[in-house]
Structure 1
Amino acid sequence: MVKYEIHESNQFPDRRTDNGESKMIDVWTEKHRPDTLDEVVGQEKIVERLKSFVEQDSIPHLMFTGPAGTGKTTSAIALAKDLYGDSWKQNFMETNASDDRGINVVREKIKNFARTKPVNADYKIIFLDEADNLTSDAQQALRRTMEQFSENCRFILSCNYSSKIIDPIQSRCAVFRFNRLTDEQVKQYIDRVADSEGFEISDDAKDAVLRVSEGDLRRVTNVLQTTSLNTGDIEEQDVYSASAALKPEEITKIMENALAGKFMDAREELSELMIDRGLDGQDVIASVHRELFDLDIDDRKKLELVDSLAEYEFRIAEGGTDDIQIEALLAKLADLGTR
C-alpha cells in the first residue's frame, strides 16, 4: 500500500513504496522555474529590455500583462534575483490580489513593506500578482502608495487584462505585453523537462500537450509531471487521460454524429466520456471550440456555432446545469446539420 505524509514545502506528499522506501516528489512548476532572465522561455524582446534595467541597476514601475502561464511571475522573480543576488528575498515581496482584494492590503501589508529600508540596494520591489482583481478603492490607494514610496520602492503589477487597471496606475508604469508561446518554444521546453527528469515523450504526445495546454507553461509542466508519475515513456493517450481532456478525433466524431442527426448516439457517447474523464461542461465547450473550425460545414454555420458556444459557456458560468447546456449544444449541432 502507498502511504502519504504532508510536508510544508514545494513538494508533493512523501511517497512510500511497499518496501518502505521513501521518495519525495518535487512540484515541477517551482523546480523548473527559471532563476535568471537568461533562462526565461520565449518573450525575447521583453527579456532583453528587462536585462537592460538590470545592467543600469534602475527600473521604473512595471506592468506585466498577458495570458496565464506566459512568464509574468517568472520574469518578475528572475528580475529580482538578477538585481539583488543573494539578498533578493529581503528586497522582494510578492502578494496576490485574488487573495487580498481590498484596500486594507494596500494600507497595511504593502505600506508596511514599502516603509522599511532595502538591504544592500537602493530600492525594494513589490510584486502584485493578478492586480486586475483589486477593487477600485484599492487601486486608488495603490496609486497614492506608488507616489509616496517611489524613492525606495518599485512596483511590478501582473494582470491578465490591463483594461481593468485604472489609467493613473497604467500611466505610472512601463507596460510589457506577454504573448502566448509558440509551439516550437513549448516543444523545446518539453524536451528540456524530459531530459532533466529522465522520461521519454513521443512526438504525438508533445502535440497533445500543446493542445491541452494552449501555450500555458504551468499547465504544460503539471501535465508532464502528472503523466510521468505513471510511465517513463509518455504517449498521446497518456496525456489526454492525465489531463482529463478529449482527443480531437473523439470530439470530432461526436460533432459529426450530431450534425448527421444522430443526436442520441452523440449524447450517449459524450456522456460516457465525460464520466470516464471527469469532464465538466466548460471542458467540453473548450474542446468543441478547438475542433469546430476543421468541421466540413460552411463558414456561416461555424460562425453561428461559435456564437452559441459563447452563450452556453456563459450559462454554465452563471450556474446553469452542465448536462442540459451540453445537450442544448448537441441539439444546436443537429439543427445546423438539417439546414
Structure 2
Amino acid sequence: MANEVPWVEKYRPEKFTEIVGNEETVARLEVFSRQGNVPNIILCGPPGVGKTTTILCLARLLLGSSFREAVLELNASNDRGIDVVRNKIKMFAQTKVTLPPGRHKIIILDEADSMTEGAQQALRRTMENFSKTTRFALACNTSDKIIEPIQSRCAVIRFGKLSDAQVLAKIIDICRKENVSYAEDGLEALVYTAQGDMRQAIGNLQSTHVGFGHVNGKNVFKVCDEPHPLIIKEMIEYCAKGDIDEAYARMQTLYSLGYAAEDIVSNMFRVTKTNQTLPEYLKLEFIKHIGLTHMTVLQGLGSLLQLTALLADLCQTIEIKS
C-alpha cells in the first residue's frame, strides 16, 4: 500500500476525450491542437478542474514523441522569483530541440499568480524574445494577479467548477477499477467535501480507502477533518426554531472537537445554501449573517464567542420575522 501510485496521477487524463467537464473550453484547445497554431495561453479557474492536465494533453498531441524534451513544467508557487525566470525558463527557451514543422516548445507555469511582479516582468521579456520558438501556458486561480502586459500577449481561457454529478461519476468509476468497498453516504461525503475539485475528491477517496478499508461518510469526514454536515444541519434547524440552547450545544461540541471557526462557518454556509426545508427569505437572512461572521473570523476573531453571537443572530432573525 505504501508504494502505491497516487490515484490522482494514475487516473490523470492523457487525451482530451478523457477530461471531465468544461467541454467547450476543452473543444477550443482541441482546435488549437489540430491547427498547430497555438498562442500563449492563460488558463484560469478553481483548483482541481483540469487546467494543467488539459495543457499536458495539448502538448502531447502537438509534440508527439518530442513531448519529454520540448515541455518544461514548473510550479510557480515554489519557483516564483526572478532568478527562476532568468535561469531555468530562459535556459530552456534557448535550448535547441528538433520539432515537427510549425510546432513550438511549451513552458507550463502552474500557480502563475503566485509569481512576484519582478519575475512576471522578466517573464514578459522572455516571452517576447523567444516568441518564434517557445509558447507559454500559465495556469492560475484568478487572472487578476497576472500583470497586464502578459495578459495582453495571451489567450485567456476560463475553466468552471465541476458539477457534483461529474465528480461522482469519476469517483464511482475509480471505485470499480480499484475494487473499493464503499457506501452511498461515503460517495456523498466525498462529493460534498470536494466542492467541484476533482483532485481533492480522488485524493480523499484514496486516503479513506488506504486508511480505513471502507469508504463511508464517517470515515471520509475523519480523513478530511471537516465538521460533519449532519451536526451543522441540526444546529441550523434549531436556529430556525429559535432554540438557541440546543443549537449552542452542537456548536460547543464541534468547537471542543478542535474544529477551526472558519471550517465551522464555511460548512454552515454550505449546509444553509443547500437546505430544502428553510423558507427562501429565511435562507437569505441566514446566509447574510453567516457571511458577516465569516468575514470577522477571517480577520482573526475566531472565538467561541463569535460563533455563539452568530447563533444568537440567527435565532433573533426568527423572532424579528415572526
**TM-score, length-normalised on structure 2?**
0.87
**Residue from 68, 85, 97 that aligns with 2:76:** 97
Q: Deviations over 1:139-186 (max 9, x none)?
A: 333222211111111000111112332333222212211111222221
**Could you say which residue in structure 2 is the equivalent of 1:69?**
48
Q: Deviations over 1:17-42 (max 9, x none)?
A: xxxxxx52322222221122232112
Alpha-carbon separation, structure 1, partners of 2:163 and 2:276 = 24
Say whether the 8 Å CA contact 1:65–1:158 is kept in structure 2.
yes
Asked whether 1:291 is paired with 2:271, we answer yes
Q: Which amino acid aligns with 2:181?
A: E
Alpha-carbon separation, structure 2, partners of 1:224 and 1:95 = 27
Say whether the 8 Å CA contact 1:118–1:152 is kept in structure 2.
no
Alpha-carbon separation, structure 2, partners of 1:108 and 1:316 = 41
**Residue from 184, 190, 195 that aligns with 2:165:** 184
Structure 2: gaps (5+ residues): none
Alpha-carbon separation, structure 2, partners of 1:227 and 1:322 = 31
**Could you say which residue in structure 2 is the equivalent of 1:163?**
144
Q: CA deviation at 1:224?
A: 0.6
Q: CA deviation at 1:126?
A: 0.9
Count of paired positions? 317
**Could you say which residue in structure 2 is the equivalent of 1:8?**
none
Alpha-carbon separation, structure 2, partners of 1:32 and 1:324 = 45
**Could you say which residue in structure 2 is the equivalent of 1:78?**
57
Which region of structure 1 is more displaced relative to structure 2, 151-160 or 136-145?
Answer: 136-145
**Could you say which residue in structure 2 is the equivalent of 1:57?**
36
Q: Deviations over 1:69-93 (max 9, x none)?
A: 1100111222222322343232111
Alpha-carbon separation, structure 2, partners of 1:90 and 1:183 = 37
Structure 1: gaps (5+ residues): 1-14, 16-22
**Residue from 169, 175, 179 that aligns with 1:194:** 175
Q: CA deviation at 1:287?
A: 1.0
**Could you say which residue in structure 1 is the equivalent of 2:299?**
318
Q: Which amino acid aligns with 1:283?
A: D
Which region of structure 1 is more displaced relative to structure 2, 308-317 or 246-255?
Answer: 308-317
**Could you say which residue in structure 2 is the equivalent of 1:39?**
18
**Could you say which residue in structure 2 is the equivalent of 1:207?**
188
Which region of structure 1 is more displaced relative to structure 2, 298-307 or 66-75?
Answer: 298-307
The 5-angstrom pairing of residues 150-299 of structure 1 reads: 150-276=131-257, 278-293=258-273, 294=275, 299=280
Q: Deviations over 1:101-121 (max 9, x none)?
A: 333332333222212123435
Q: Which amino acid aligns with 2:261?
A: G
Say whether the 8 Å CA contact 1:37–1:82 is kept in structure 2.
no
Say whether the 8 Å CA contact 1:132–1:160 is kept in structure 2.
yes
Which region of structure 1 is more displaced relative to structure 2, 281-290 or 251-260?
Answer: 251-260
Percentage of identical aligned residues: 38
**Residue from 29, 37, 43 that aligns with 2:8:** 29
**Could you say which residue in structure 2 is the equivalent of 1:87?**
66
**TM-score, length-normalised on structure 1?**
0.83
Alpha-carbon separation, structure 1, partners of 2:24 and 2:237 = 43
Say whether the 8 Å CA contact 2:73–2:109 is kept in structure 1.
yes
Which region of structure 1 is more displaced relative to structure 2, 114-123 or 207-216?
Answer: 114-123
Alpha-carbon separation, structure 1, partners of 2:285 and 2:150 = 39
Q: CA deviation at 1:318?
A: 3.0
Say whether the 8 Å CA contact 1:43–1:178 is kept in structure 2.
yes
